[in-house]
Structure 1
Amino acid sequence: MDLQMGGSHVKLQVEGDRRVFSEGSCLVCILLCLPCSIVDCFIVLKLVSTVGCCRSLFLLSLGQKELDRYLFHGLKPTLYKHWLGIYEKSGGAEFDSSKQRLFFSICNSYRDILHHNKKPFYLKGLEEDSSTMDAYIMHSLNHIFRTRDLVKKNEAKLAKLQENVKADVLNNEAFFDRGFTRPKVLILLPLASVAFRVVKRLIDLTPPKYKSNVEERERFYSEFGAGVSEDKEAEDVAEMSESKRNSKPSDFQTLFGGNNNDHFMIGIKFTRRSIRLYGDFYSSDMIVASPLGLVTKIGEAELYKDKNVDYMSSIEVLIVDHADVILMQNWSHVNTIVEQLNRIPSEQHGTDIMRIRQWYLDGQAPFYRQSIILSSHINPGPKSYSFFLSYADINGLFNHHCLNHEGKFLLSSSFPRFYPPVFGAFGHSLSI
């Protein structure tokens, strides 16, 4: 790297690529353009003396991990670069100030989130809906990959130790890196067509090094795509429903134009080089399901002793997208699912108990789970009824079941007032 200072510009030549910055350029802007491998203290000190940015001393105090987190907004560098590349190819500008990047920052705070003013794709809100979806998908990928990196790092450390030393080392909290089971992210969606859209985008946003092979892709496209009728009677019904659908409003056609199945559940596992769809739930990293599909599994576990839903015991990120559509289906299913989350499992399932985080063992996992609820509106709930009924809506779930110790975000929109406030218009009688 060659650093040249002259006139009113700072010229940086990095492996044949010449970049010019003004004398008052922020150090962060310069560092973002440099490969991390060449950003050492010597280079930074030269830039500080030349640029004089107010954040320079702060950046100098950061280690490599903290610096990467600051520059890549909390994302793993591989995820950040891939997401940035996709964003730029789509014609986007100013990624750092984009809606999806800003919403990702809110998700990355690991606080509970209720966003009840999201404009859905079926109400001409495709851009906003896609931005929000990209953000929570990247947050899920980032959480899964960082958790996996921590586990692999600790396993490598333990492999170097002798057997007689491991027992003492495992008492160190640094090696508490897992829950009871592997699944960490649960995404609840109302329809198979919506799940198809989310999982397809999930595959697109996964960097190439992690998806050299996507197992069971064709099966997924067949089951979650538009679907094919199996017999003549079903085809006749489909033709009749199609003629009825054409008479419906455009938002109805957009939402229900695909696979309307509301009973599904799929596990997704990330290996070193591939994505495995339809993986066993206990070996999956993420579960995408409809409320009805997951409640059915819970009912089977209560009915049959040889079945259980212990794979729900270690969910750390819960995402409920299109909650307004689920509200029109059966919202009580969502309450049942959330109440079932983070319970102590009935079996060990091959987990190394010595490496389970303490809050799981203490039954405090619900206070460490992040819940993200996305909807176009909320139902205020029946305030005049009993206290029990206050749990039956979106707002009630957020207030009573989302208990993250970090706190909560309530995202709402303010609209301009078209009419002036009316005072004294009510409460007066008119005598004739």
Structure 2
Amino acid sequence: MTLMPIFWEWAEFALRWLHVITAIAWIGSSFYFIALDLGLRPSSDRRQGVSGEEWQVHGGGFYFIQKYMVAPARMPSDLIWFKWESYSTWLTGFALMAVVYYMGAELFLIDPNVMEMGRWTAIAISVASLAFGWIVYNTICKLMLGKDDTWLMVILYVILVAMAWGYTQVFSGRAAFLHLGAFTATVMSANVFFIIIPNQKVVVEDLKAGRTPDPKYGKIAKQRSTHNNYLTLPVIFMMLSNHYPLAFAAKYNWIIAALVFLMGVTIRHFFNTMHKRGGMLWWTWGLTVGLFLAVMWLSTAGIYMQDEGEDEAALGPMAQRFASAAGFEEVHDIVTTNCSMCHATEPYWEGMASPPKGVRLETTQEVATLAKEIWLQAGVTHAMPPAGSYMALDDESRAAIRRWYEAGLEG
């Protein structure tokens, strides 16, 4: 059995779980502190520097929490920093994107029907776009410092919509959604690394030196933290969007992405207002439902159609190897007979509106391009076709898929 592809599958497995674990830790601490900050009440004893306090109960114990604005009179002897949750989330996420989308650029990143480009060109665009996002966002925040934060959020939303459109003009629909999530997550993590933590360190150094900290550093950090809070839910959807081809493979996928961001904002605003004891803004849920219905309608307005021609020149270098490898014709027949009922532009399986994960296996180009996935899902494992279906493969068919894939690697 070919060991290197198996190694990278397990590397992806490990990175994905690390990314999920660290993201949960970051989101949990972020949501908790925003809710805590919004729910603080004025200090009962009016201690110097204490701007708010709150009693909480959890796990059988009571907690009394106080917030100082700008800082306590002296430096605490034991201070806990919340930063590695953010850094680890971004580092594992970028590593995962490199393993899945950069190493598998021909399969997941590049779509010739959208734009033909080489692997390294696509990777360069990907990396440059992430850096571009932070530079533009940070510049706008600095230019609008002290001004109406609502207008700042509107401007940032316009930028996100523009990036959603731009990504769908360059990458595959699946990669476009993932990159929009990575674009936003990069801004969020960079907020922590370049703004929030450095500003907190300035305050700490002032305390150590016996100086009175400038309150502007706390205000700037709080602004960026609030931005992160409102961006969290859309980012989660984008990172999980590969499960929803009706979103990323739809004709108007960039509009769907834009509406998903609004849905995340309306839901967070409901809970933030509730934590602030500002009442229950039920209209936000009505608006969210309306946005979701719009997404549903847009998803059926058109699915990307693959060109019917099967020009071998359109195949990438790796796909060409698998298309010419020994056993391809046999595997092509196996796949189109047993897999295309579901993995088709218009699935024949009753009740299925779109191909699972947007994967189509109807043409020579599609089968050759998706060689690794076919080998993993139906050759090495019995994940596909689903167990118990009348399309189930016998052992000889799975062995044929393995022989063909290994021949393609050697070729």
TM over 0.5: no
TM normalised by structure 1 equals 0.28
**Larger relative contact order, structure 1 or 2 (CA cutoff 8 Å, min sep 6):** 1
Q: TM-score, normalised by structure 2?
A: 0.29
Greater strand fraction, Structure 1 or Structure 2: 1
